[in-house]
Amino acid sequence: MAKELNFEDIKRSIIAGQFASIYLLQGEEEYFIDRLTDEIINNALKDEERDFNQIIFYGADASPEAVIGACKRFPLMSERQLVVLKEAQNMKNKDIEELVFYVSKPLTSTIFVICYKHGKLDGRKKLPSEISKKGIVFESKRLYDNQITPFICTYIKSRNLRIEDSAAQLMADSLGANVSKLVNEIEKLIITLPAKSTITSSLIEENIGISKDFNNFELQRAIAKRDVLKANRIAKYFDNNPKNNPLVLSLTVLFNFFANLMICHYENDKSLGAIKTTLGLRFDMQGYDYVDGLKNYNAFQTMQIISLIRETDARSKGFNSSLSDGALLKELLFRVMH
């Protein structure tokens, strides 16, 4: 019977010592795959058992025969053994499919972990079907935009710290949905802080290099308020600091904002509470931009702006334009707010 559990469910069972015979950890977001793999490695065996009972393969170098042979061994002076196949996406399709010969009849004394990043095994093939019957299949999905800020808050809370709502939003808007990058930046920041500190926007600016005044969150807010002067100041800052403020990130933030604004236009209830519920927002401050946006851009204008953002994205890739990214952003802002 298939056991399709979420990240926290699987993590809890691993920490509790309740292991499946086979784990297929796959998907686009590598962070959760790595975390679960580390949890299994840290909890499956005692330190003194690892030398003889832990084998790690890498897809580019592993043959199916070697992996299957390792899985069929019996543990030495231990209750179980652990076999991990990392970077399984680098194996040839025909080779990885041969693992079905072991997966169909796994040993209860072996924990076999398959880590398949940046995609999924072909669900039409026999291997993932057999794994779902005998073990646990976990798909590590990229976070949606409205999940990034809650993830940051939850992660920081787990590290015995607090973060201001505005700081969490600043980090989410500036760093995007790459969870590994987010965690890396958070951990670098935590090193500098005493326990139980509160992370502020100023701390983020000082330690991560994100300006609390000139970032995509503030650009979105300026556009929502139709604050032409502030929006152009931010655009000028981005133009002077292109490495830390790529146009593609700004376009992504603005596209998501106006796409969500279009959804709000077609809702009967346009109150702050209703907007938060409709868009799955956590903080009031996230909803204020949409309240302002509804006042300043009607549905027809919003649709036109979405088209302008798409056009700018195409031009930034070289279609019918030789303008720099900075010039393209300034032109887009003019067309949006005038």
Do 39 and 125 lie in one domain? The reply is yes
Helix ranges (H only) for the chain are 7-15, 30-44, 50-53, 64-71, 93-97, 100-103, 126-134, 145-158, 165-175, 179-191, 201-208, 216-225, 228-240, 247-265, 272-279, 284-296, 299-316, 325-337
pTM above 0.85, yes or no: no
Do 28 and 151 lie in one domain? The reply is no
Do 76 and 169 lie in one domain? The reply is no
Do 240 and 328 lie in one domain? The reply is yes
Q: Strand, helix or coil at 42?
A: helix
Whether the CB-CB separation of 248 and 256 falls below 8 Å is answered with no
Question: Rounded to whole angstroms, how far apart are CA atoms 302 and 262?
Answer: 6
CATH of residue 63: 3.40.50.300
Do 107 and 180 lie in one domain? The reply is no
Reading the chain (338 residues) residue by residue, the pLDDT tens digits are: 444 578 999 999 999 999 999 999 999 999 999 999 999 999 999 999 999 999 999 999 999 999 999 999 999 999 999 999 999 999 988 899 999 999 999 999 999 999 999 999 988 889 999 999 999 999 999 888 788 888 999 999 988 889 988 888 888 877 777 898 889 888 888 887 887 889 988 888 777 777 777 888 899 999 999 999 999 999 998 998 888 789 998 999 999 999 999 999 999 999 999 999 999 887 788 899 999 999 999 999 999 999 999 999 999 998 877 889 999 999 999 999 98
Helix (H) or strand (E) holding 141: none
Do 176 and 287 lie in one domain? The reply is no
Domain stop point among 87, 113, 140? 140
Question: Rounded to whole angstroms, how far apart are CA atoms 251 and 249?
Answer: 5
CA–chain centroid gap for 263, Å, is 23
- Any idea which residue has 């236009």 for tokens? 265
CATH of residue 242: 1.20.272.10
Domain stop point among 140, 169, 198? 140
Range of the domain at 46: 7-140
Residue 170 counted as domain residue: yes
Do 254 and 182 lie in one domain? The reply is no
Sign, CA dihedral 312-316-322-324, equals positive
Do 159 and 253 lie in one domain? The reply is no
Question: What pLDDT, on the 0 to 100 scale, is given for residue 93?
Answer: 85
Question: What pLDDT, on the 0 to 100 scale, is given for residue 1?
Answer: 41
Do 152 and 167 lie in one domain? The reply is yes
Residue 62 counted as domain residue: yes
- Any idea which residue has 């019977």 for tokens? 1
Do 23 and 132 lie in one domain? The reply is yes
330 phi/psi in degrees, rounded to 5: -65, -40
Residue 83 counted as domain residue: yes
In 171-188, which positions are buried (b, 16+ CB within 10 angstroms) versus exposed (e)? bbbbbbbbbeebbebbee
Residue 33 counted as domain residue: yes
Residue 190 counted as domain residue: yes
Question: What pLDDT, on the 0 to 100 scale, is given for residue 4?
Answer: 57
Whether the CB-CB separation of 279 and 144 falls below 8 Å is answered with no
Do 287 and 200 lie in one domain? The reply is no
Domain stop point among 140, 170, 194? 140
Residue 1 counted as domain residue: no
Do 285 and 300 lie in one domain? The reply is yes
Token pair belonging to 114: 């398959």
Question: Rounded to whole angstroms, how far apart are CA atoms 91 and 121?
Answer: 11
**Total number of domains in the chain:** 3
Residue 2 counted as domain residue: no
**DSSP letters spanning 180-231:** HHHHHHHHHHHHTS-TT-EE-HHHHHHHH---SSSSHHHHHHHHHHT-HHHH
CATH of residue 171: 1.10.8.60
Output the CA angle 172-175-180, nearest 5 degrees. 100
